[in-house]
Amino acid sequence: MSDKKKIMTSVIAVIVIAGLLVSLGYLAGVARYKTEVKALTFAEVELSQIPDGDYEGSCDVGLIAAKVKVDVKEGQIQHIDLLEHKNGRGEAAEAIIDDIVRRQKIDVDAISGATNSSKVIKKAVENALESAKGGTSE
């Protein structure tokens, strides 16, 4: 085998191995993401116990992340700003914010076709409201 063929064979082998490593890393990330989304649990927050103010919360499960600012006044959610939303095809989940404000609770139905993004946004809202208990109003 000529030196040129040996070099080409080595280069191809390195490319194939690198591709396999990248694929394995991606698959491990997807598995971790699915596990984290499945593990998300939600607790209803007693809005009457939340002082007036703006509260930020976030949730990041790897492939999907959200950051929100929740405006609470007189024991009611007045408005939710979606500050960040990293998503795959879950942009439709952003409509869940209106449902949370309208129903005044986190336990609302997920948006069909964007279930995981819906869960992440709901958890970010819950985390924002939970932060109010620590007195971190802005």
Query: Is residue 137 included in any domain, yes or no?
Result: no
End-to-end CA distance of the chain: 70
What domain range includes position 62? 47-132
Contact 116, 91 (CB under 8 A): no
Question: Given pLDDT bands bounded at 50, 70 and 90, which one contains residue 36?
Answer: confident
pLDDT number for residue 136: 47
Query: Is residue 74 included in any domain, yes or no?
Result: yes
User: Token match 């082998």: residue?
Assistant: 13
pTM of the model: 0.79
Query: Do residue 68 and residue 126 come from a single domain?
Result: yes
- Closest of 130, 81, 125 to residue 105, by C-alpha: 125
Query: Is residue 33 included in any domain, yes or no?
Result: yes
Query: Do residue 26 and residue 83 come from a single domain?
Result: no
Question: Given pLDDT bands bounded at 50, 70 and 90, which one contains residue 62?
Answer: confident
Statement: residue 137 has pLDDT above 70: no
Indicate which CATH number applies to the domain containing 97.
Answer: 3.90.1010.20
76-125 confidence digits (pLDDT tens)? 999 999 999 998 778 899 999 999 999 999 999 999 888 999 999 999 99
Query: Do residue 67 and residue 127 come from a single domain?
Result: yes
